[in-house]
Amino acid sequence: MCQGGIPVRTMKAIAALAPIALGAILTLPGGAVAAGQDHTSDKATSQAGAAAFRNFILQTGTALHETDDTFATATADWDRDGRPDLVAVKKSRTGTNSTEVHVLSGASNFQRFVLQTGTALHETDGTFDFALADWDRDGRPDLVAIKKSRTGTNSTEVHILSGASNFQRFIFQSGTALHETDGTFDFATTDWDRDGRPDLVAVKKSRTGTNSTEVHVLSGGSGFQRFSLQTGTALHETDDTFDFAAADWDRDGRPDLVAIKKSRTGTNSTEVHVLSGGSGFQRFSLQTGTALHETDSTFEFSVADWNRDGRQDLVAVKKSRTGTNSTEVHILG
């Protein structure tokens, strides 16, 4: 990750907007892929989706230089000011010989760092995924490192670094009930069973037994030793053109699965498809194109309530080949 002082880059708006007529490529588990077909039938859902992600509410360069595959990004309110911050995790080729964490202040529109530090975790590689969650319930986001393969336990492992210690101390390290995993899995954290403890959501994108994208939730309350949900979904098998996040989109108290389709879409835009957690991911509560053009591997995505209207916004992080020569943040609401 970046070391030393990093100059603030000037903002240069990117105005590449795409058509936003819905044309998702979706199917029910085991069914044939259907192009341009919406499988939701709820008129209220369709009307709610009509306005979602059609406008940019922030587009800016940041204080972080352009980044590459050695970086992973996420959003969390690190400094507890009510504004989501951008957390950049530098996995390797670091100045501290450790995995590093660099937090850009949301209140400054990502023009200022509020934390830059090495951590207690050695340098990491593509076998690690990262997420943020308040594991120890102290009000500070902790760093969740998910070790997918080449583990000592022959399982997917979870290693949690304390946010209160500025990631200098582990507060949890364990193998899990999930076998070792590979690039067909994405991970997120959320309180699925509503017990106050973050759970681990493993999204199996392809080569599944249900011929659909699958969701496997490991209970945080059990130390990830027990599954609280394992299911196929209403979304066909997916690939690297999809990113995933977990958030309560429909505000029913149950986390939903947010699937972001980056390219090869029916709308010629980045698309958002939300699977209802209340239905066990068997029903879509939103399917829409967005104001963002089709995207590629230089983009990473998360969801956060940026404008504090109670509705989740889409955070698109453009890591390289940017107009500002910095990592850029584009937020759609």
Query: What angle (nearest 5°) sits at the alpha carbon of residue 57, between those of residues 84 and 140?
Result: 5
Query: Can you spell out the DSSP letters for 202-255?
Result: EEE-SS-TTSEEEEEEE-GGGTT-SEEEEEEEEEEP--TTEEEEEE-SS-SSS-
The pLDDT of residue 49 is 58
pLDDT band at 2 (very low <50, low <70, confident <90, very high): very low
How far is the C-alpha of 237 from the C-alpha of 198, rounded, in Å? 26
Has residue 306 got a pLDDT over 50? Answer: yes
Percentage with pLDDT > 70 across the chain = 85
Domain boundaries, the chain: 25-332
Q: How much is the mean pLDDT over the chain? A: 89
Contacts of 330 (CB under 8 A, 6+ apart): 14, 56, 58, 59, 292, 315, 316, 317, 318
Mean pLDDT of all residues in 7-20? 35
Condensed to tens digits (0 to 9), the pLDDT of residues 185-234 reads: 999 999 999 999 999 999 999 999 999 999 999 999 999 999 999 999 99
9: nearest Cα among 332, 331, 318: 318
Query: Does domain 25-332 fall into CATH 1.10.10?
Result: no
Instruction: Grade residue 51 by pLDDT with cuts at 50, 70 and 90.
Output: confident
